[in-house]
Structure 1
Amino acid sequence: MRPRVVCGIAAAVALFATACGSGGGGGQSVSVTAQAAPTGGSYPVTVADCAGKDTTISKAPTKIVTSNAASLEMLLRLGAGDRVIGTGFPPGKGSLPADLAEQGAKVPVLGDKSIPKEKLLGSGADLYVDTFGAMPMMGGGATGPSPEEFAAAGIQHVYLLSTACAGTPKAAKAPRTDLAAVEDDIRRLGAVTGTAARAEELVTGMEKQIGEVRTALAGVPEDKRPGYFVFDFDAGTKQPTAVCGRQVANAVISLAGARNVFADCDADFKPGSWEDVVAKNPDWIQLAVRNRGSEEATRKAFDDAEAFLKGFPATQGLKAVQEGHFVRLGSEVTTIAGVRNADAVRQIAATVHPDLVKNGQ
């Protein structure tokens, strides 16, 4: 994918639209260990990075910096938001849920995109939660601080493995079909911040919601699952971007009883062509626009995305377009790792299987 999508899906992380990477298959192993029960704030806690290298957290962090809105939202939900002293790629207007928006807006922005190295190292943080890992286009790898520089600044460096590990040799190659890696990340941050009990509550809520959908769809055979295409309207219309098997959205779609038509591409995202989309001829198309900050503006964005597909010669004959099979669901909850992935599972399932799943029930 890389160069073009920096201007589309990957850059959209800045506005809390997408996560530019993911693990694969059934999820990455978290490798969290502690000296006491995981429901307490017990230390030391040891967590592994994408290469399996351990970091030991000896006490609860008090000054946390996040690389983007994905890890920020997780910390807000865990009740550790008052310890976040800065973030990069801040949440876009309207992208955080209402109950978190006010607190999220108070977090200082250290970088509209990736945080400059000098600012990160001089932030006074004792913990940096990294969504991107070694992705150069997101400020990782050679452009980010080295392990030695983090150590010299007194900053411990941990990762969201569900999003940071897609390009590493240890990344699973099979399509992701569950949210285990996302749930593991929530547990990781809970263990690291001493909010493990809250993390288990969040994961339990996700699993309950997903379990209800799974039970409702148990009778739907694999070959009867409708084909599903995520249309990232905000990435541009000249060349569509395929959401591939390693992306968290593939798990969301699979759990919702649909079939990602680009699940077979061994990546997180990949540049495609309209010829590819036409060849797949999806049964449903998700209009994955980003939250515009108001209900009216977001609705207009959905309308514009739908109007494009209906008017564009290459797509107006697609089955989904002809039948009006559109799913109006934002990018944020579909392609970025977080608790709301479970909400997306239910919403998609309720749309494509309305006789079996009811939204909000």
Structure 2
Amino acid sequence: MRPRVVCGIAAAVALFATACGSGGGGSASITAQPVPAAGYPVTVADCAGKETTITKAPTRIVTSNAASLEMLLQLGAGDRVIGTGFPPGKGTLPSALAEQGAKVPVLGDKAVPKEKLLGSGADLYVDTFGAMPMMGGGATGPSEAEFAAAGIQHVYLLSTACAGTPKAAKAPRTDLAGTEDDIRRLGAVTGTAARAEELVTGMEKRIGEVRTALAGVPEDERPSYFVFDFDAGTKQPVAVCGRQVANAVITQAGARNVFADCDADFKPGSWEDVVAKNPDWIQLSVRNRGSEEATRKAYDDAEAFLRSFPATQGLKAVQEGRFVRIGSEVTTIAGVRNADAVRQIAATVHPDLVKNGQ
């Protein structure tokens, strides 16, 4: 896989805010609870179309990072998670899930080491991105033969695992169908399909309300929008491209991602590119720092940079103070909270049409 920026959005999608900050977690084992027996077998495919058949509900699950961990927590299967890599940093999980998430043993502050994963006793490994050698997990993870020999079935979140591969759709992602499919797929795999439908229904309701509110706004009148990944560093901006889930979030929120036309999920950019786009709005995208005060300071620092940096201080959005303060975690990582991000962005860029929290 291509190299990725290690401390920013491109890292946040792999670590949900921990490779560049402090990790959370505990060491106590989690007792597996009774799981459903109906609804099996379930067959799911990877990015290349290779199928895996799950014959019974998994009881000992390892997740590759906090993105897939949060999805399992939302589905009510968190009590079956026995370990994770890239653990959630303090403050990154919703408050209702934070206590349970903190109890999940950390098998790796970054990627779970191959030997530890194979020896974990897991019967299912939920992989958010697949092999990512640049993220500190070693050159390769276990082969499918090694997973099979250890009795571990291997499934992916396709909305993120496939985004940077040749198999990904070439057109920009403009809706959250892929995220919703991942929730349903993981619900089927874990025997929590009914809960998955509840989550998807809730997402569609929130997004549908925004879509209805913005129905009268023509496409060419929707504001242009740039995601500024402050945590990636300021020497070179990272373009959030059309294949990334954030493009769908931005589109559903009634804005136009200025880098939607680059055929990738992320791509190194230049400040000259940003200046040429001259966006109407800029998202100050930072990781949750673990406290409201620290996170607010990170937003303040990001804004201060744009106001003082010669290349950006003349941008329309900077001159008019059009900044959107919303975290990396809910915009660039597939999950239930993408729907909340849609509403928050829409309420900021279309305040007369969309009211946040209503």
TM-score (norm 1): 0.92
Task: Give, in angstroms, the shift of residue 24 of structure 1.
Answer: 32
Contact persistence 1:49–1:161 (CA under 8 A):
yes
User: What is the Cα deviation at residue 15 of structure 1?
Assistant: 4.5
* Structure 1 SS opposite 2:318: helix
Unaligned runs of 5+ in 1: none
CA drift at 1:40: 5.9
Shift of residue 19, structure 1, vs aligned partner? 12
For the residue of structure 2 that corresponds to 1:344, the secondary structure is: helix
Which residue does 1:15 correspond to in 2?
A: 15
Q: Which residue of the partner structure matches residue 100 of structure 2?
A: 103
Whether the 8 Å CA contact 2:26–2:103 is kept in 1: the answer is no
Contact 2:14–2:86 at 8 Å: present in 1 too? yes
Alpha-carbon deviation of 1:8? 3.4
Is the 8 Å Cα contact of residues 256 and 349 (structure 1) preserved in structure 2?
Answer: yes
Shift of 1:11: 2.8
Paired with 1:324 and 1:179, the residues of 2 have a C-alpha distance of 29
Instruction: Report how far residue 158 of structure 1 moved.
Output: 0.3
Distance in 1, Cα, partners of 2:192 & 2:301:
42
Give how far 1:4 is off: 5.5
1:249 maps to 246
Specify the alignment match of 2:347 in structure 1.
350
**Distance of 1:24 and 1:337 partners within structure 2:** 20
Deviation per residue, 1:82-134 (Å, 9 max, x gap): 00000001111100010000000000000011000000000000000000123
Does the residue aligned with 1:309 lie in a helix, a strand or coil? helix
Greater mean alpha carbon deviation, residues 10-19 or residues 216-225: 10-19
Q: How does 1:171-186 map to 2 (within 5 A)?
A: 171-186=168-183
Aligned counterpart, 1:228? 225
Decide whether aligned partners of structure 1 residues 130 and 252 sit closer, same or farther in structure 2, where only a CA change above 3 A counts: same
Q: Distance in 2 between matches of 1:178 and 1:156?
A: 29
Say if 1:22 and 1:268, in contact at 8 Å, map to a contact too: no
Match status 1:40 vs 2:38: yes
Name the CA distance, whole Å, in 1 between partners of 2:32 and 2:175.
25
- Aligned-pair CA distance for 1:12: 3.0
The answer (yes or no) to whether the contact 1:23–1:164 under 8 Å persists in 2 is: no
CA–CA distance in structure 1, aligned partners of residues 137 and 217 of structure 2: 42
1:136 CA drift (Å): 3.0
CA distance in 1, matches of 2:338, 2:323: 19
- How far did residue 166 of structure 1 move? 1.9
The answer to whether the Cα contact below 8 Å between 2:12 and 2:328 also exists between their aligned partners in 1 is no
| 2:214/2:353 contact within 8 Å kept | yes
- The Cα shift of 1:27 comes to 37
Moved more, 287-296 or 159-168: 159-168
Structure-2 change in CA distance of 1:152 and 1:318 (3 Å): same
CA distance in 2, matches of 1:238, 1:185: 35
1:22–1:163 contact (8 Å) kept in structure 2: no
Gap change, CA 1:214 and 1:143, over 3 Å in 2: same
Deviation at 1:218, TM superposition (A): 0.3
Alpha-carbon offset, residue 28 of structure 1: 36
Q: Distance in 2 between matches of 1:359 and 1:347?
A: 6
Distance 1:227 1:19, change over 3 A: farther
Query: Secondary structure of the equivalent of 1:101?
Result: helix
Contact 1:21 1:268 in 2 (8 A): no
Give the number of equivalent residue pairs: 358
Structure 2: where are the runs of 5+ without partners?
A: none
- Deviations along 1:283-332, one digit per CA (max 9) or x if unpaired, are 00000011000001111111111011001111000000000000000101
Quickly say closer, same or farther: Cα 1:293–1:25, change in 2 above 3 A: closer
Deviates more, 1:54-63 or 1:6-15: 6-15
Name the CA shift for 1:158/1:152 in 2 (closer, same or farther; >3 Å). Answer: same
Shift of 1:230: 0.3
Change in CA separation of 1:22 and 1:2 when aligned onto 2, cut-off 3 Å: farther
Q: Note closer, same or farther for the CA distance 1:216–1:197 as it changes in structure 2 (3 Å cut).
A: same
Q: Report the CA distance between 1:170 and its aligned residue.
A: 2.1
* 1:172-220 Cα deviation digits (max 9, x unpaired): 0100000000000000110000000000000000000000000000000
Q: Please give the alpha-carbon distance, in whole angstroms, between the structure 2 residues aligned to 1:24 and 1:226.
A: 38
Per the TM alignment, residue 21 of structure 1 is displaced from its structure 2 partner at its CA by 21
> In the alignment, is the contact (CA less than 8 A) between 2:31 and 2:80 conserved in 1?
no
Taking the aligned partners of 1:130 and 1:231, their CA distance within structure 2 comes to 27
The alignment's TM-score, normalised by the length of structure 2, stands at 0.92
Change (3 A) 1:354 1:274: same
Tell me how far apart the structure 2 counterparts of residues 335 and 142 of structure 1 sit (CA, whole Å): 24
- State the shift of 1:9 in Å: 2.9
Contact 1:25-1:177 within 8 A present in 2 as well: no
Identical amino acids, percent of aligned pairs: 91
Going from structure 1 to structure 2, the CA distance change for 1:22 and 1:203 (only over 3 Å counts) comes to: farther
| Cα distance, 1:5 vs structure 2 | 1.2
Q: For structure 1, which segment, 186-195 or 160-169, has the greater mean C-alpha deviation from structure 2 after superposition?
A: 160-169
